């Protein structure tokens, strides 16, 4: 990273990414971290600003914005259906970035973009990163980017002040989980199920041990994702990490117009449970 860029980022974030700083502030305020996932273009890009503003008002710590893709590998049926609806609305990666840029001055909540590698390659790596920076995208998640190949964009993301958020899987060996925990920026995305996104009824003791182990090795907050569908699960997992990321349930409720249920879900989940 050039000295000029490093100095600029340190002045802007005091040595921390905007994502990391925001989550740290939430933890210091004694709140669980809650990051909702939404599919950009589900309902049209015209509602993206309104939807992000609503989730910020509900108390979300950051917002994960998904890019629709025709061949997703990590998405369950609810998010796949949302992606299909978004693609039918002619949603593109460039359209999402342009929309985010159009209202960047009116939002303060960190925006995390989740996309697959194929759309990024088609867009152009350098152009993608510079355009995301111009749109004030604060973090990037690319679930099909292996750690061994991430050098093609990791340094450039860092130079533009964009947190490169890594995913950790329960099936990975300890040395790989440790490496991912040490590399991740902003937060570490702990996949809490073996499978795709979607509602689960519970998470077993192996998940709790896995989250606790990641906490021991991570220098950034550890957030559990996949399978969280109610505030009880959010609290149960947050006892072993720093909070949760919720996708399928949020996407489903928003699609059904159940905004009040979304608000209740978020606000109940961010409250720390008081031991009896």
Q: What domains sit in the chain, N to C, each tagged with a CATH number?
A: 16-269 (3.20.20.70)
Determine which one of 64, 131, 136, 138 is catalytic: 64
Q: Which long-range contacts (CB under 8 A, 24 or more apart) does 69-75 make?
A: 69/115, 69/116, 69/118, 69/119, 71/116, 71/118, 72/116, 73/116, 73/143, 73/144, 74/143, 74/144, 74/196, 74/197, 75/196, 75/197
pLDDT more than 70, % of the chain: 89
User: pLDDT digit string (tens) for 92-144?
Assistant: 999 999 999 999 999 999 999 999 999 999 999 999 999 999 999 999 999 99
Average pLDDT of the residues of the chain: 88
Q: What is the pLDDT of residue 73?
A: 82
pLDDT band at 258 (very low <50, low <70, confident <90, very high): very high
Higher pLDDT, 36 or 5: 36
Task: Please determine, for residue 5, whether its predicted confidence score (pLDDT) is greater than 70.
Answer: no
Q: What is the pLDDT of residue 206?
A: 86
Q: What is the pLDDT of residue 273?
A: 62
Closest listed residue to residue 129, CA positions, set 117, 118, 119, 140: 140
> Residues 172-182: what's their mean pLDDT?
93
User: pLDDT digit string (tens) for 182-234?
Assistant: 999 999 999 987 544 444 444 567 888 899 999 999 999 999 998 899 999 99
Q: What is the pLDDT of residue 75?
A: 84
Determine which one of 16, 75, 131, 138 is catalytic: 75
Q: What is the pLDDT of residue 21?
A: 86
Is 25 one of the catalytic residues? no
Prediction pTM value: 0.89
Q: What is the pLDDT of residue 166?
A: 95
Is 149 one of the catalytic residues? no
Residue ranges with strand state E in the chain: 33-39, 63-66, 111-114, 139-141, 163-164, 167-168, 188-191, 222-225, 243-246
Which residues 6+ apart lie within 8 Å of 17 measured at CB? 138, 139, 161, 162, 163, 185, 186
Task: Please determine, for residue 77, whether its predicted confidence score (pLDDT) is greater than 60.
Answer: yes
Residue 208 phi/psi, 5-degree rounding, is: -65, -40
User: pLDDT digit string (tens) for 10-63?
Assistant: 444 445 678 888 898 888 888 899 999 999 999 999 999 999 999 999 999 999
Which residue in this structure is represented by tokens 């600029």? 8
Environment class of 133 (CB within 10 Å of its CB; exposed 0-12, middle 13-18, buried 19+)? middle
First to last CA, the chain: 50
Q: What is the pLDDT of residue 204?
A: 65
> Residues 254-274: what's their mean pLDDT?
91
């Amino acid at each position: 990273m050039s000295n000029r860029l490093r100095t600029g980022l340190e002045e802007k974030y005091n040595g921390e990414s905007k994502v990391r700083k925001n989550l740290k502030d939430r933890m210091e305020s004694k709140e669980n971290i809650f990051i909702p996932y939404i599919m950009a273009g589900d309902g049209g890009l015209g509602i993206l600003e309104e939807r992000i503003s609503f989730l910020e008002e509900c108390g979300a710590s950051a917002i994960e914005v998904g890019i629709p893709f025709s061949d997703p590998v990590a998405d369950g049926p609810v998010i796949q259906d949302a992606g299909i609806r978004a693609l039918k609305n002619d949603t593109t990666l460039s359209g999402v970035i342009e929309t985010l840029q159009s209202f960047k001055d009116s939002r303060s909540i960190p925006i995390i973009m989740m996309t697959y590698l194929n759309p990024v390659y088609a867009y152009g790596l350098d152009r993608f990163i510079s355009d995301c920076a111009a749109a004030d995208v604060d973090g990037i998640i690319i679930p099909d980017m292996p750690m061994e190949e991430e050098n093609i964009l990791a340094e450039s993301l860092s130079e533009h002040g964009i947190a490169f958020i890594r995913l950790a899987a329960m099936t990975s060996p300890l040395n790989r989980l440790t490496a991912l925990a040490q590399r991740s920026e902003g937060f570490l995305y702990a996949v809490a199920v073996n499978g795709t996104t979607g509602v689960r009824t519970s998470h077993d003791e192996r998940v709790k041990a896995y989250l606790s182990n990641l906490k021991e090795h991570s220098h950034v907050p550890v957030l559990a994702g996949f399978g969280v569908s109610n505030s009880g699960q959010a609290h149960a997992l947050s006892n072993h990490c720093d909070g949760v990321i919720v996708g399928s349930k949020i996407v489903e409720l928003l699609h059904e117009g159940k905004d009040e249920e979304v608000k209740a879900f978020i606000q109940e989940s961010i409250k720390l449970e008081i031991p009896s």
